Structures are given as C-alpha cells and as structure tokens.
C-alpha cells in the first residue's frame, strides 16, 4: 500500500462537535467495554498494584493463588477448568478469599475492564446460592439489559455443572407478572425492573436474599435515577435481610461516588487494583498525512488489509464522518462495523458483538460515542480525527488519546496508533500530543507499512 498524498489542503475551520451524535451514556460505555473484553486475556499482572483497605480488623487477609485454595463447590471448580480459568486473576486473588469467607463480608471493588470482576462476583453469588432452594437468593443489579445478560451468561457457564442453579433476568418487557413463582436462585436485572420485583410485583422475598451485587457501581450511583432505585432496593433488602452481603464492583469510581458507597455499605473491605503505568509503553505511534477527507478515506483503504490482520478501531470526530467512512468502505466490498450514538441499542450491541467475535475486524466509531471505551484487545487504533478538547478544539484531549491508545498492545504484541492529519490544525494537535507524552510520533513512511502486517 502506498500513500500518494503528502500535501495539506488549505486550513479548514475547526470542526464542531456533531450535535446529533449523542455522547454515549456511561451505561452504554460500560456495555461496550464488557463486549470488548470478553474475548481478551487477562491483564498482565506486573503492572498492577492491589490495594486493600481493611475496615474490619477481623478479616483475614490472604491471597489465593489457585482456585483450589478457595472454598468453591467442586462443580464450580470443574466449570472453571472447562472455561479455561487456570488461576485467579490479580483482583480475584485478593477479592475471592474475602468474598467467600464467613461471615459474609461487604466489598467495594475497583479494577479496570477485563480484569475479572464479573467472574469474581459471579463466583460469590454461586457460592452462596443454595441449589436445592428454589427461590431468589442473589440479586445482581446492572445498568442495562445488555449488561445484565452478559453477567447472566458468565453465571450460567460457571453453573454448568450445577443443573439446579438457574438465572432469571429482571428486565423490562420480560412478560413476568405478579403472582409468578420465581424458582431461580440468581436474579440479574436493571434497577427499575428489580424494584418492581421487590415492590409492586412482590416476586422476591427480600428476607431471603443473601447476596446483593451492584455492577458498574459508579454508573449506578452517579446517575440519580439509578441511584434512587438502587438505594431503594438496597434498603429493602438490608432491612429484611440484615446480614446480606453487599458487593459493589466498578471499573472506576469518582471520589463522591466512593464516599457515598463507603457511607452506605457498612464495614466494606475495599479492593482496588490500579494500573501503575500511565505512559504509553509498547505502542508505536505514527501520523499519516492526507490531503483531504478523501485522502483519509484512501489511507484507510490502503491500510485495510493491515487492519484486518488484527482488531482495529477507527475513531472519527462526528457521526457523519463515521457513517460516511463506513459506507465508502462497504461500497468497496469490505466489512466494517459501525457504532455511533444514534444507533438503536440492539444494533449497537450487534455491532459490538460482531466485532468481538471477529465477524468484523474493523470498528468505526465516533469520538463522542467512544469516550470511555476501553479497547485493550485492539492492536491498531486509528485516530481518523484527533481527539480534541470539547471546549477548545485547538487543544488535544489527552485523556481520551491516552485512553484510546494506551491500552492497545498490552499482551506482548506491539500496539500501533496511527493519527491521520489532514490540515495544519490536526498536525499541531499531534505535535502537542507528542510533546505532552514525551513519546515520538513520527510520520509513517509508506515503506514502513509492512510493519503493520
Ligand atoms: P471484568 O468484569 O473486570 O471486565 P471479566 O470477569 O468479564 O472482567 O473477565 C474478562 C475476561 O477474562 C472474560 O473473558 C473472562 O471469561 C476472563 N477471565 C476472568 N477471570 C479469569 C481467570 N481467572 N482465568 C482466565 N480467564 C478469566
């Protein structure tokens, strides 16, 4: 592949953020991250620092380096084998002994997407659920239907040798009516519907609940609607079942959220797993000069075969350019997945799922839409448009840049970030990014393109 364009067009006025492209909600971001991480190996341990803050001096603190060190049912151990879980991830190593100990202990846990949180609380629920008791015992709240389903799938896989253990989804329009007798031990759902289950539908006896999980806890607490409902559910259960084990899991917590959570959940052990390295290790960054929008498109076409060798994400500034680019590429008979804020949720979920499953190797998504998305299994990131500060489009959005590319190439593979530059302004943005992170962003030499393949 060759780049023929090496000249800039006349400077264009900075592009406006596309007002029609709604920013993704935190729920949607959480969902997307979930999909993206389901196929990924776990994060490398060396970069991780686990902090345990123990509020309860009684809690024994030890780490479990093997699942067999834990008091897990043999059927669950068997399932873990089948699932290829050889040993606990870092967060699991520290969280599981606490999650499984007696008496049940509350936990507020934080670690990035893909580190094994879902698996941790799924194990906690499965360990506490009594298979022979056919009524709801564990409740897990997630911000969206799709996230609830993701969790349910993990639980079901882990329960594959526990045929009596069943999962029920408490989500909108599931057709469940008052008077239904729920036999499932594990109920996973959204706060609104779960609140109905506990309240007007009377489908769950709160006094029988032994575990309450809030996944994506920061989303649940930050957003007023979710927060009110989650609080109501928590209060109902805590009142009826004072010993309930309450577990909050999240990839991030804002300070006010963590303060709120700590006040709410009494005697919770905090488990925090932070990645130390905020630099951009192991990632080759480049920029590519393109003369115009068409030039950028041409560059994508030139790169296409390289992009499809692995998973790639292309970030554009607006929904329109994302759609335009996707159409152009599709017209050439290539396959790409498209994701923007105006697509209906099922379509988005499908796009993500297809990307995750490798049906599409290339995902085109908007800047706005992608904020917060964690693309760690992606090896090539293309900044079709550089990420810019919302209030001043002459300033790069460094966090977004770091977020997008800082997690590629984590698993030994070299990650590659390619920044498209089509005018003086975008070139200056890249220069600023280069200076900010102190890592060179050389111009990509067309002869070097083999490096991508
Ligand atoms: P999170 O909830 O933090 O995003 P998950 O629990 O979904 O992370 O785990 C991310 C991926 O890693 C999933 O595909 C999951 O099946 C897998 N996984 C989790 N724990 C382990 C483990 N101990 N060994 C191997 N794979 C694991």
Q: Say how far apart CA 208 and CA 8 lie, in whole Å.
A: 67
Nearest residue (CA) to ligand 1, atom 6: 116
Q: Say how far apart CA 40 and CA 84 lie, in whole Å.
A: 13
CA of 388 to the centre of ligand 1 (A): 32
Task: Tally Cβ neighbours within 10 Å of residue 447.
Answer: 8
State the pLDDT at residue 71. Answer: 83
Nearest residue (CA) to ligand 1, atom 26: 85
**Which ligand 1 atom sits closest to the C-alpha of 215?**
2
CA of 112 to the centre of ligand 1 (A): 11
Task: Tally Cβ neighbours within 10 Å of residue 395.
Answer: 13
CA of 204 to the centre of ligand 1 (A): 29
Q: Which of 127-136, 332-341, 355-364 has the highest mean pLDDT?
A: 127-136
* Higher-confidence position of 29 and 151: 151
| Model confidence at 57: pLDDT above 60 | no
pLDDT category at 39 given cuts 50, 70, 90 is: very low
Task: Tally Cβ neighbours within 10 Å of residue 35.
Answer: 22
| Model confidence at 178: pLDDT above 80 | yes
Q: Where are the beta strands (DSSP E) in 280-430?
A: 283-289, 312-316, 337-339, 362-366, 380-383, 415-421
- pTM of the predicted model as reported, rounded to 2 decimal places: 0.68
| Model confidence at 346: pLDDT above 80 | no
Yes or no: say if 381 and 35 are a contact pair by the CB < 8 Å rule.
no
Q: Say how far apart CA 48 and CA 417 lie, in whole Å.
A: 23
CA of 88 to the centre of ligand 1 (A): 9
Sign of CA dihedral 333, 339, 343, 348: positive
Give pLDDT tens digits for 221-258: 888 888 999 999 999 999 999 989 999 998 877 788 88
Burial zone of 214 (CB within 10 Å; 0-12 exposed, 13-18 middle, 19+ buried) = buried
| Model confidence at 341: pLDDT above 60 | yes
State the pLDDT at residue 41. Answer: 38
Sign of CA dihedral 407, 409, 412, 414: negative
Yes or no: say if 124 and 100 are a contact pair by the CB < 8 Å rule.
yes
At 399, list the tokens.
């966090």
Share of the chain above pLDDT 70, in %: 77
Nearest residue (CA) to ligand 1, atom 9: 116
At 37, list the tokens.
């991480």
Q: What is the rounded average pLDDT for all residues in the chain?
A: 81
Task: Tally Cβ neighbours within 10 Å of residue 213.
Answer: 25
CA of 193 to the centre of ligand 1 (A): 27
State the pLDDT at residue 196. Answer: 96
pLDDT category at 368 given cuts 50, 70, 90 is: low
First to last CA, the chain: 11
State the pLDDT at residue 13. Answer: 47
Q: Which of 272-286, 369-383, 437-451 has the highest mean pLDDT?
A: 437-451
Determine how β-strand 211-214 pairs with β-strand 48-53: unpaired
Determine how β-strand 48-53 pairs with β-strand 186-189: unpaired
Rg of the chain over CA atoms, in angstroms?
A: 23
**Which ligand 1 atom sits closest to the C-alpha of 84?**
25
State the pLDDT at residue 33. Answer: 59
Q: Which of 92-96, 346-350, 406-410 has the highest mean pLDDT?
A: 92-96
127-157 burial, b if ≥16 CB within 10 A, otherwise e? bbbebeeeebbbbbbbbbbbbbbbbbebbbe
Q: Which of 33, 36, 37 to mutate to test the pocket of ligand 1 (most atoms within 8 A of CB)?
A: 37
Yes or no: say if 393 and 15 are a contact pair by the CB < 8 Å rule.
yes
Yes or no: say if 12 and 295 are a contact pair by the CB < 8 Å rule.
no
Q: Helix (H, G, I), strand (E, B), or coil: what is residue 76?
A: helix
pLDDT category at 100 given cuts 50, 70, 90 is: very high
Lowest mean pLDDT among 119-123, 140-144, 258-262, 373-377: 373-377
Give pLDDT tens digits for 41-56: 334 443 444 555 444 4
State the pLDDT at residue 19. Answer: 43
State the pLDDT at residue 376. Answer: 55
Task: Tally Cβ neighbours within 10 Å of residue 4.
Answer: 10
State the pLDDT at residue 130. Answer: 97
**158-173: average pLDDT:** 96
CA of 391 to the centre of ligand 1 (A): 37
Q: Say how far apart CA 416 and CA 284 lie, in whole Å.
A: 5
pLDDT category at 451 given cuts 50, 70, 90 is: low
| Residues in the ligand 1 pocket, defined by CB under 6 Å | 37-38, 40, 42, 84-85, 88-89, 92, 111, 113-119
| 3-state percent breakdown (helix, strand, coil) of the chain, nearest 5 | 40, 15, 45
Q: Helix (H, G, I), strand (E, B), or coil: what is residue 395?
A: coil
Q: Which of 81, 93, 114 to mutate to test the pocket of ligand 1 (most atoms within 8 A of CB)?
A: 114
* CA distances for 165 relative to 132, 160, 357, angstroms: 8, 9, 28
Give pLDDT tens digits for 298-329: 888 878 877 777 788 899 988 898 999 999 98
Q: Is the ipTM of this complex over 0.85?
A: yes
């Amino acid at each position: 592949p060759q780049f023929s364009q090496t000249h800039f067009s006349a400077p264009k006025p900075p592009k406006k953020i596309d007002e029609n492209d709604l920013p993704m909600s935190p729920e949607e971001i959480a969902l997307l991250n979930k999909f993206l991480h389901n196929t990924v190996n776990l994060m490398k341990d060396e970069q991780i620092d686990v902090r345990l803050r123990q509020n309860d001096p009684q809690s024994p603190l030890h780490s479990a380096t093997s699942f067999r060190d834990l008091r897990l049912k043999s059927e669950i151990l068997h399932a873990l084998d089948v699932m290829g879980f050889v040993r606990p991830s870092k967060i699991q190593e520290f969280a599981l002994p606490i999650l499984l100990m007696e008496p049940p202990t509350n936990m507020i846990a934080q670690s990035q997407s893909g580190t094994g949180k879902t698996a941790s609380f799924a194990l906690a629920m499965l360990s506490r659920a009594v298979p022979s008791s056919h009524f709801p015992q564990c409740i897990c709240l997630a911000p969206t239907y799709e996230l609830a389903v993701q969790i349910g799938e993990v639980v079901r896989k882990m329960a594959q040798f526990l045929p009596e253990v069943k999962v029920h989804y408490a989500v909108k329009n599931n057709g469940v009516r008052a008077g239904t007798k729920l036999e499932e031990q594990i109920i996973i759902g959204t706060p609104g519907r779960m609140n109905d289950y506990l309240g007007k539908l009377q489908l769950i006896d709160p006094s029988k609940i032994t575990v309450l999980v809030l996944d994506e806890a920061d989303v649940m607490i930050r957003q007023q609607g979710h927060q009110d409902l989650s609080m109501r559910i928590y209060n109902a259960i805590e009142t009826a079942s004072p010993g309930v084990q309450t577990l909050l899991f999240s990839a991030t917590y804002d300070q006010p959220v963590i303060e709120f959570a700590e006040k709410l959940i009494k005697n919770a052990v905090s488990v925090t797993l932070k990645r130390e390295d905020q630099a951009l290790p192991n990632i080759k960054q480049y920029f590519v000069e393109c003369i115009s929008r068409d030039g950028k498109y041409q560059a994508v076409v030139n790169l296409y075969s390289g992009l499809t060798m692995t998973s790639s994400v292309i970030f554009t500034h607006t929904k329109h350019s994302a759609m335009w680019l996707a159409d152009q590429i599709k017209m050439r008979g290539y396959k790409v997945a498209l994701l923007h804020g105006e697509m209906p949720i099922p379509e988005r979920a499908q796009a993500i799922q297809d990307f995750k499953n490798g049906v599409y190797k290339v995902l085109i998504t908007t800047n706005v839409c992608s904020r917060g998305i964690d693309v760690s299994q992606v090896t090539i990131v293309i900044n079709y448009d550089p990420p810019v500060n919302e209030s001043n489009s002459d300033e790069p959005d460094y966090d977004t840049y770091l977020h997008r590319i800082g997690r590629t190439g984590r698993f030994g593979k070299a990650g590659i970030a390619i920044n498209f530059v089509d005018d003086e302004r975008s070139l200056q943005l890249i220069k600023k990014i280069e200076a900010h992170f102190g890592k060179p962003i050389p111009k990509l030499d067309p002869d070097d393109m083999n490096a991508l393949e």
